């Protein structure tokens, strides 16, 4: 057979005859996993624009690479073709890919796995009579070193599932536990932070909990990246985390369950120990398209910036404390200032910023700025284009580094212990997505000024043609984000007034089988709710005595609004409501709306 015929045969069989040549795989071979790093570095040094990793399984561990990960730094206009490749990173204390200072790099095709099970799970064997502890028999094949805080010390929380299912048990909540006590080889007693509720917890239910949390793929100071056709199995934390980037990055990938471990008879309940995707402090928001995320032990897609703390002000000058020393404030950025009640007080443009020394001042109210020695001392003096009367305890957000301009299209998120999407950015589009089986809201637009210090309010958001099904399952949770779709802000036991969120359109969406309120709107202005379908709402259980009652929310109303103006309802339909829905819409204080009651039609 001549070479021309051989090439034609390879192409017919689907082999990469065009790419698998000695000239572009740079000596990379599955027989030598460390050759992946060497090959990429060699290609870069030679000025090449592409590396092809030959198909196969590469185990990147301490025996082959002291770093235990793959580093990409300073690559520009480069492509890594990893179709048919599996990259395994069994060291759970390190990242998988550490990508920094890269621009216009495309990575396509690999399956990325830890190669080991990084969480644990079991079946409830007993509940103590005082309900202050539970005994869990760990499923065969899953880690039993659950008392080792190096592996299981991050956010010790139990999540309960329907027996024999990956569906999170409705009506439960985050069950926090202390140091487990080993009773038998695979049986452990978990002391609980508070007594377990009587219902719906029971012996025989499945339960899972996360292991140590690390980012699997992290991007820092990157722009115009494309991560495509990647499958991630069994991650340790944020499956992909973009942080302090100029952004404009594109993602199309899956986060799903790892294979069953040897000896197991029960499939894994968790796919990753935290978020499927996380965007923090990014200038141009990400595009996520046709992603499939399931089984996370935290959120699906958070996008946010960070708040800084104001210490004092004088005319156009304000002294601030940064929560992150890498925070990227730039002259020309727009800064939003919030008073002690969480209400927006001023907006100003940054003229200059400089590091300064400053006596220690702490504010006891925010998780990140409190009276403790470990509080970061990252002081800056900023000059603004106008005076701002900032006081000690005010917060400010750089609205240009919150991931605005994002697009989330055609994505599926299911079975997540938290929110499906947690958005704190502006100028965004969420369309043609399916979110189901989340413990909190399916789509949430809400800043977190004190708990996680994540900014900011959202403006100019279009949410259309999505399906939100069976979301808000944790009706016992003390959390206002329980509605299937939540747009709001809560600060120190009250909803903050607008201006906050603004210019939000919610249209052509389907809300199906959501057990509690389907939409909550607070701290917002100019919100349009048009041509949405609400199918079988509130059929599962009576939520009247659960959730946030101290804020005045009616947990048995389809829609709740407070501290909101410019709400407009039209062409919405409700069909087959459950007996627990006692109102279509109820309002708290300071609501201005139009289109009701004709804007929501009830069909029994």
Question: Could you give the 3-state DSSP secondary structure of residue 550?
Answer: coil
Q: What percent of the chain has pLDDT over 90?
A: 71
Would you state the pLDDT for residue 20? 45
Q: Which residue's entry shows tokens 């002391």?
A: 191
Fold of the CATH domain 3-116+213-294:
Pectate Lyase C-like (2.160.20)
Q: 477-480 contacts: CB < 8 A, separation 24 or more?
A: 477/173, 477/174, 477/439, 477/440, 477/547, 478/547, 478/548, 479/440, 479/547, 479/548, 480/520, 480/522, 480/547, 480/548, 480/551, 480/553
Q: 563: number of CA atoms within 13 Å, CB side? A: 21
* Whether the predicted pLDDT of 63 surpasses 80: no
Residue 429 and residue 411: Cα distance in Å, rounded? Answer: 12
Q: DSSP per residue over 276-292, as a string?
A: SEEEES-SB--EEES-E
From 422, 541, 548, select the one nearest 493 (Cα to Cα).
548
pLDDT digits (tens, 9 = 90+) for 110-137: 999 999 999 999 999 999 999 999 999 9
* Whether the predicted pLDDT of 512 surpasses 80: yes
> Band of the pLDDT at 530, cuts 50, 70, 90?
very high
Going by the DSSP 8-state scheme, the letter that residue 272 receives in this structure is: B
* Whether the predicted pLDDT of 531 surpasses 90: yes
DSSP strands (E only) in 276-388: 277-280, 287-289, 292-294, 301-314, 317-321, 334-338, 344-355, 379-384
The answer to whether 407 and 287 are in contact (CB under 8 A) is: yes
From 39, 105, 97, 31, select the one nearest 68 (Cα to Cα).
97
> Band of the pLDDT at 585, cuts 50, 70, 90?
confident
Would you state the pLDDT for residue 548? 46
Print the SS3 string covering 429-476.
EEECCEEECCCCCCEEECCECCCCCEECCCEEEEEECCEEECCCCCCC
Would you state the pLDDT for residue 231? 98
> Band of the pLDDT at 541, cuts 50, 70, 90?
low
Would you state the pLDDT for residue 464? 98
Beta bridge partners of 255: 232, 293
The answer to whether 115 and 90 are in contact (CB under 8 A) is: yes
* Whether the predicted pLDDT of 365 surpasses 90: no
The mean per-residue pLDDT over the stretch 273-279 comes to: 97
The mean per-residue pLDDT over the stretch 431-448 comes to: 96
Would you state the pLDDT for residue 551? 62
The answer to whether 254 and 238 are in contact (CB under 8 A) is: no
Residue 90 and residue 42: Cα distance in Å, rounded? Answer: 25
> Band of the pLDDT at 370, cuts 50, 70, 90?
low
Q: Alpha helices of 1-153 — where are they, by DSSP H?
A: 3-12, 22-25, 35-45, 149-152
Q: Which residue's entry shows tokens 């029994």?
A: 604
Would you state the pLDDT for residue 547? 45
- For 120-209, CATH gives 2.40.10.170
Would you state the pLDDT for residue 373? 52
The CA R_g of the chain, rounded to the nearest whole Å, is: 25
Q: Alpha helices of 233-327 — where are they, by DSSP H?
A: none
Average pLDDT along the chain: 89
The answer to whether 94 and 214 are in contact (CB under 8 A) is: yes
Question: Comparing 286 with 369, which gets the higher pLDDT?
Answer: 286
> Band of the pLDDT at 58, cuts 50, 70, 90?
very high
Would you state the pLDDT for residue 25? 87
Would you state the pLDDT for residue 7? 34
The pTM for the full model equals: 0.93
The mean per-residue pLDDT over the stretch 512-534 comes to: 95
* Whether the predicted pLDDT of 395 surpasses 70: yes
Question: Comparing 278 with 541, which gets the higher pLDDT?
Answer: 278
Going by the DSSP 8-state scheme, the letter that residue 269 receives in this structure is: S
The mean per-residue pLDDT over the stretch 457-473 comes to: 97
Residue 533 and residue 180: Cα distance in Å, rounded? Answer: 46
Token pair belonging to 380: 């800056």
Would you state the pLDDT for residue 443? 98
pLDDT digits (tens, 9 = 90+) for 296-339: 999 999 999 999 999 999 999 999 988 777 788 999 999 999 99
Would you state the pLDDT for residue 358? 82
Residue 507 and residue 64: Cα distance in Å, rounded? Answer: 53
Q: Alpha helices of 125-243 — where are they, by DSSP H?
A: 149-152
Residue 142 and residue 149: Cα distance in Å, rounded? Answer: 16
* Whether the predicted pLDDT of 544 surpasses 80: no
The answer to whether 369 and 321 are in contact (CB under 8 A) is: yes
Q: What is the dihedral of CA 305, 150, 296, 426, to 10 degrees?
A: 0
Residue 594 and residue 500: Cα distance in Å, rounded? Answer: 20
Residue 335 and residue 323: Cα distance in Å, rounded? Answer: 15
pLDDT digits (tens, 9 = 90+) for 218-247: 999 999 999 999 999 999 999 999 999 999
Token pair belonging to 156: 């010790």
Maximum average pLDDT range among 18-27, 98-107, 375-384, 444-453: 98-107
Would you state the pLDDT for residue 375? 57
The mean per-residue pLDDT over the stretch 383-397 comes to: 93
The mean per-residue pLDDT over the stretch 248-261 comes to: 97
Token pair belonging to 452: 């996680």
The CATH architecture of the domain made up of 306-401 is Beta Barrel (2.40)
């Amino acid at each position: 057979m001549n070479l021309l015929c051989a090439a034609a045969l390879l192409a017919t069989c689907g082999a990469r005859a065009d790419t698998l040549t000695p000239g572009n795989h740079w000596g990379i071979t599955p027989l030598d996993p460390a050759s992946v790093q060497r090959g990429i570095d060699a290609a870069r040094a030679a000025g090449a624009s592409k590396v092809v990793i030959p198909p196969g399984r590469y185990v990147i561990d301490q025996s082959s690479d002291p770093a235990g990960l793959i580093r990409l730094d300073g690559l520009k206009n480069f492509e890594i073709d990893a179709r048919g490749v599996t990259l395994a990173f069994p060291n759970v204390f390190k990242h998988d890919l550490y990508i920094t200072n890269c621009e216009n790099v495309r990575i396509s095709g690999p399956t990325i796995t830890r190669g080991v099970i990084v969480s644990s799970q079991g079946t409830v064997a007993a509940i103590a009579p005082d309900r202050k502890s539970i005994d869990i028999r760990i499923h065969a094949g899953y880690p039993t070193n659950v008392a080792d805080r190096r592996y299981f010390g991050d956010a010790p929380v139990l999540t309960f599932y329907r027996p024999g299912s990956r569906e999170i048990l409705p009506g439960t909540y985050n069950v926090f536990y202390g140091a487990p006590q080993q009773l038998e080889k695979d049986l452990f007693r978990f002391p609980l932070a508070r007594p377990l509720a009587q219902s719906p917890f029971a012996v025989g239910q499945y339960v899972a909990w996360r292991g140590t949390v690390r980012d699997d793929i992290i991007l820092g100071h990157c722009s115009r990246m494309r991560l495509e056709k990647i499958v991630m199995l069994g991650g340790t934390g944020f499956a992909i985390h973009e942080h302090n980037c100029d952004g404009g990055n594109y993602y199309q990938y899956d986060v799903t369950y790892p294979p069953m471990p040897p000896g197991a008879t029960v499939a894994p309940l968790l796919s990753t120990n935290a978020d499927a995707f996380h965007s923090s402090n990014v200038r141009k928001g990400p595009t996520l398209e046709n992603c499939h995320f399931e089984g996370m032990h935290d959120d699906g897609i958070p996008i946010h910036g960070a708040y800084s703390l104001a210490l004092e002000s004088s005319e156009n000058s304000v002294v601030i404390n940064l929560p992150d020393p890498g925070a990227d404030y730039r002259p020309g950025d727009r800064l939003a200032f919030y008073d002690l009640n969480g209400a927006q007080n001023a907006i100003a443009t940054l003229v200059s910023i400089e590091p300064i020394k400053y006596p220690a001042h702490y504010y006891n109210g925010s998780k990140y700025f409190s009276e403790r020695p470990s509080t970061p001392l990252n002081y800056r003096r900023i000059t603004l284009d106008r005076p701002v009367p900032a006081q000690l305890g005010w917060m400010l957000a750089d609205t240009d580094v919150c991931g605005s301009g994002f697009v989330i299209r055609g994505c599926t998120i299911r079975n997540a212990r938290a929110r499906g999407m947690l958005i704190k950015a502006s100028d965004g589009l969420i369309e043609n997505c399916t979110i189901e089986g989340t413990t909190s809201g399916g789509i949430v637009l809400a800043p977190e000024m004190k708990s996680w210090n994540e900014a900011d309010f959202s403006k100019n958001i279009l949410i259309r043609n999505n399906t939100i099904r069976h979301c808000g399952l944790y009706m016992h949770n003390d959390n206002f984000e329980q509605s299937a779709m939540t747009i709001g802000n809560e600060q120190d036991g009250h909803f903050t007034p607008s201006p906050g969120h603004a210019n939000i359109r919610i249209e052509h969406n389907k809300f199906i089988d959501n057990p509690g309120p389907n939409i909550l709107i607070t701290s917002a202005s100019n919100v349009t709710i048009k041509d949405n379908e609400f199918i079988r709402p509130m059929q599962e259980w009576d939520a009247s005595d659960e959730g946030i009652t101290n804020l005045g929310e009616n947990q048995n109303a389809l829609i709740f609004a407070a501290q909101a103006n410019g709400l407009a309802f039209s062409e919405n339909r409700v069909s087959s409501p459950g007996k627990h829905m006692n109102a279509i819409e109820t309002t708290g204080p300071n609501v201005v709306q139009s289109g009701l009651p004709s804007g929501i039609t009830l069909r029994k």
